[in-house]
Each structure stands twice: as structure tokens, then as C-alpha cells.
Amino acid sequence: MVKKKAKNNAKKEEKPVEKPKESLLEQPQAPQIPAEMKEKLDKIKEKIEKFKTEILKKFDKYILGVALFPPNKEDKKKKDDINVFVLVDDADSTKMSKEELSTKLGAIIESIAKEIDPHLKPQTMVVTELKESCFDGKYEVLEMIAKSGIVYDKGILGALKVSEVHKTMAISKFEKYVIGYVAAGSLFRGDANPNDIDVYIVIDDTDVKKMSRAELKDKLRAIIAGMGFEAGKITGVDAHFHVQTYILTDFWDSIRDANPVIFTFLRDGVPLYDRGVFMPWKLLLQMGKIKPSPEAIDMNMDIGEKLLQRVKAKLLSVVGEDLYYAALNPSQAALMLYGIPPPTPKETVKLLDDIFVKKEKLLEKKYVDTLEKVRAAYKAIEHGKMKEISGKEIDGLVTDVEAYLKRIRRLFTQIEKKAEVKNMEDLYDTVMAVTRDAIMMVTDKKVTDVEKGFKDHLIDEGKLPEKLYKILKSVLKAKKDFEEKKLAKQEVEKVSKEARMYIKVLIEFIQRSRGIELERAKIRFKYGDTFGEVILLDKVAFLTPDLEKREEIQKATLDKDGGLGKVEKSNMEDMEKHMVDAKIPEKVFIKEKIFESLKKLFGKDIHVLISY
């Protein structure tokens, strides 16, 4: 008994063995079309292609599209028929009436089909017939086009196919609230573009209570636009829907106010679906029963006047804003390139004349006159003196400003070239000046050949590195090449960079050397608890009574006996200027006259601390 129970429990605990999952390669494939069916479809395709080719040879100008309709399953006698739809353009038919065009073309197209295959059954329809069927509320052909396979299309069949799918989706979503789905008149023209479809949907909002009409319109537009994208995916037509969604109350207001867009919509639109609202309005408009109200007429008249005033204001703004600044800003840029800080608009005209016409002679006076003329027009508009301007006057100003800007661009090139010459000259002069000063720091001999003197007294003596001599030589060569117009812009930049480094090193060398010399000219002294200093140059002396504060600097001339003459106030800038230019004596002695002068200034208890 126990064994039996255990056996039963064991059975309960057993888990069914799971079958291994099929790999992706082993997944069941879509059913293959039987060979017999595939052969039949290939033959139909071949016949359709031949039929399309033949009718296009004869009627390419008129044929807008060819589509294969689904087979007729209800009539067994017609189960083998190949139903083909041919849409014909009758927009510019002049030799025959629309009815004759449909009948005659239909007969010829039918005979071509019979020669290819007796089962080939073409249905020929002109665009006018298709529109009339829509006006009569007969949408069977549209439904067939939605289900068809398009063989040839100039645009209209693809547009109708995706529109029919979109319409069905909208009606399914909003049911009784869709009272009209209307295609713009352009959809039924021969040049219709399936990628750009204009449709209008009118939604009944008379019983909406849960949300505002503004909110309703926003939601409807978002949903219906999304459906347009989905319809394109379903049909394979890359369609961009321009969906105008109207609610009934707004639509009625637009009719009453004679809105031109709505009147065009009623006059040219073709209903792809209508619940008995659109066509009555369309017919009432044709009968002259829908007329603008007096208020609407007055409003449209007022709009005309206002728009005309706006056009005039825009023409003035072209001169008062666009043309003026189009000329002014490049003019200011040219002055800034020259080195002038950004000038005011008023200053710009005068500076342009003073600098580029009179001083540099780079610009002709007539271009300054152009800027002045544009500025005068701008000021006249700004101050209300100019109320209107004609298109002819604007054309003249535009032509002048175009010529002005072209000349200013050339002026930029002239300024840059002139600046290059000046920069090279300034660079050369600065290099030569600091080189001479550096040589003078180490020798009293007169040097005529700067390059040789630099090498002999500074490089060969080991006071400066060899690479500075190479830079000096490259600057001298660059100056010569630049004058002969052999130096490229990139080479100018390279030499300028090296020269700036050269100048910096030499100035530091001069300052260090000068600093050593200046130390020899300094005498420091103490009076009481205060420390002072006097610097004796060749003809003048500078005194700092308090070295700790350095708030006061005094200057005195040196008399023949070496004493201090009249003492007067000075400053740091004056002292530095004298230090640069003055000759510093090799040795400084504290002569009796200097000591006596210091005693008079600072007291008898003065003591000299340091003397070089």
C-alpha cells in the first residue's frame, strides 16, 4: 500500500519533457504560391503590361492611370475576366466632347484588349465622369481603386487610393460626426501629385459638451494627421496629407462671412464622402443663393486697404532697415579693419570720407555719396518725412547698394595689403631698434653693420644664443623678399611669430643690463627710522624720501660741482623715461656737495648705507 502510494506520488512529481524550441531557421515559412497559380499570375501580368504599352502608344497624352481591379467573385461567368480600369484626362479636349472622348477612346481601348486576350475587360472612364459620380454620391469606383493594383499612374490613382483609405479610417474613428470628406479640385487634375494631397474634413460639433471647441479642433487635427501617415504606410504611397479639419460651427461662420478659402473649397472641391451637407451648399453657391453679408463685404474691403498699407510699410522698411544696415555694417567693418574703434552710424560716413577718400586715397567719393544717400533716406523714414517709396526708387537704391558692397569688398583687400606692408615695416624697424640697443649695452664702439655687430658683440661673446642670430637673418631676408613681392602670406606669419619672440628676448636682455647699470647709480641713506634713495644720472637726480611707501618721488638737476639744484615733485613715469635715455656714469662717488644737499633736505643725522 505504501509502495503504491509512493509510486503514485512519484508519478505526480514527474514533469512533462519540454520539446526544444524551433530555431529561427526552423520557423514555419509563409505558404508558397502553387506553381500553377504563379504561372497564371505571371501570364496575367504579362498581358496587363502588353495592354498598358499598347494604349500608351496611342493615347499617352490622355491616359492618366491604369489599375487592375479585383476579380468578380459573385458572377461565375465572369470569374476568369481580367478587370482593368483606365482613367482618361478630358480637361483639354477640344476636338470632341467629353462623352465622345469617353465613348471613342473606350471602344478603341476595348478592341486593343480583345486582341491581347478576350478575357481582358477594360473599364474606361474620363475624369469628369469620376467627379460626377462623386457628386451623385456613387463611390463604388473609389472603393475599387482603393483595392486595386496600380499598373500605371501619373499621380491621380495613387492619390485617390490613399485618400480613400484615409477617409475610411476617419469615418471608422468618428462615425456619424464626419459629415464631409472632400478632395481639393487639384486632386482631379492631370498634374496631381500623390505626395502632396489636399483634403478637407468637416466634423459635426453641434452636440459637443465635454470640451471646448478649440480643444476639439486641436485633438481632431492631431488624430486625422496621424491617420494620413498610417494611410500612406498601408497603401505604400509616400503621401504628405494637407488635411484641413473644420468643425461645422466654424465652417458655417466662414460661409456667412464670405471667407474666400471656404468659397473656393465649395466651388472646386469634390466630395469623396458626403452626408448630405456639402453638395447642397455647393449647389446653393452655384445657384447664387449663398451670398456674402454686407458686413463681410465691408470687412473684405477693409482688409484690402489694410493690406495695401502694410505693403507700403514693408517697402519703407526695406530701405529703413534692410538696405540701410546692408550698407552701414560693412562700412563700419572696413573702419574697424583699418584700426578705428566701432564708430557710431553718424560718424561712419565722415570717417569713411576722411580716411579712405582723403587720407589713404583708397576709395572713390561716389561710394561715400551712396552711403550718405541711403542714410538720408533712412533718417527721412525715421522722422516721418518720407511716407511712401515706389518700387522703382527701391530698385535704384538696391542697384546702388549692390555696387557699393562690391566696392567695399575690394576695399577690404586694399586695407589688408596696406596693413601687411605697414606691419612688415614696423616689425623690421622694431627688430633693428632693439638690436642696436642691445649692442649698445655691451660696447661703446659705433656700429654701422647691425647684423655683424650683433654677431660679434652678442653671439660670439656668448651673451645671447645662436638661434637669435638666425632669426635676425630671416627677418632681414623676409624684408627684402616682401619688397620684391616674393613672400607668401604664410611665410609672413611665420617670420612675424619668430620676430616677436626675438624682440621679447632682446628687451629682457636690455632691461637686465640696464638694471645692473642703474644699481651703480643708486645711493641709499637713512635718516631717523626712514630709508631713502637717490639715483644719480648724468644731468639729473631722482630722490625717493621713503622707500617703504614710495608715495613721493622728487627730481633735482645736478650742478657743476655735483650738488643738487632746485628740488621739485616728479613721478615714476618721468623717472623711468630719464632712466631709458640718460647716460649712466660707470662709477658713482658721494661727493661733498651731494652729501651736503642731502643733509639740507633730510637733516644732519643722515647716514649713507650703500654706494656703488
Strand 120-126 vs strand 82-88: parallel, antiparallel, or unpaired? Answer: parallel
User: Cα separation of 412 and 406, whole Å?
Assistant: 10
Angle between the 572-581 and 489-520 helix axes, to the nearest 10 degrees? 100
Task: Give the pLDDT confidence score for residue 297 in this predicted structure.
Answer: 65
Residues 499-525: tens digit of each pLDDT: 889 988 888 888 777 777 677 778 888
| Residue burial 63-85, b: 16+ Cβ < 10 Å; e: rest | bbbbbbbeeeeeeeeeeebbbbb
Q: For the whole model, what pTM was predicted?
A: 0.46
Q: Give the pLDDT band (50/70/90) at residue 401.
A: very high
Q: Give the pLDDT band (50/70/90) at residue 94.
A: low
Is the pLDDT score of 287 beyond 80? yes
- Superfamily of domain covering 155-292: Beta Polymerase, domain 2 (3.30.460.10)
Is the Cβ–Cβ distance between 290 and 278 less than 8 Å? no
Grid cell locating 605: 643725522
Residues 208-217: tens digit of each pLDDT: 776 777 777 7
User: Cα separation of 575 and 522, whole Å?
Assistant: 13
From the number of C-beta atoms within 10 Å of its C-beta (0-12, 13-18, 19+), residue 207 rates as exposed
Residues 167-202: tens digit of each pLDDT: 899 888 888 888 899 988 777 765 556 567 888 899
**What is the mean predicted confidence (pLDDT) over 36-44?**
78
DSSP reduced 3-state for 343: coil
Which of 221-230, 290-299, 497-506 comes out lowest in average pLDDT? 290-299
Question: Which of 50-59, 298-307, 543-552, 577-586 has maximum average pLDDT?
Answer: 50-59
Task: Give the pLDDT confidence score for residue 400 in this predicted structure.
Answer: 92
**What is the mean predicted confidence (pLDDT) over 558-562?**
77
Residues 133-160: tens digit of each pLDDT: 999 999 999 999 888 888 898 888 888 8
Is the Cβ–Cβ distance between 589 and 544 less than 8 Å? no
Grid cell locating 357: 577718400
Is the pLDDT score of 10 beyond 80? no
Better pLDDT: 328 or 97: 328
Better pLDDT: 243 or 20: 243
Task: Give the pLDDT confidence score for residue 11 in this predicted structure.
Answer: 45
Q: What angle do CA 293, 295, 301 make, to 5 degrees?
A: 105
Is the Cβ–Cβ distance between 122 and 68 less than 8 Å? no
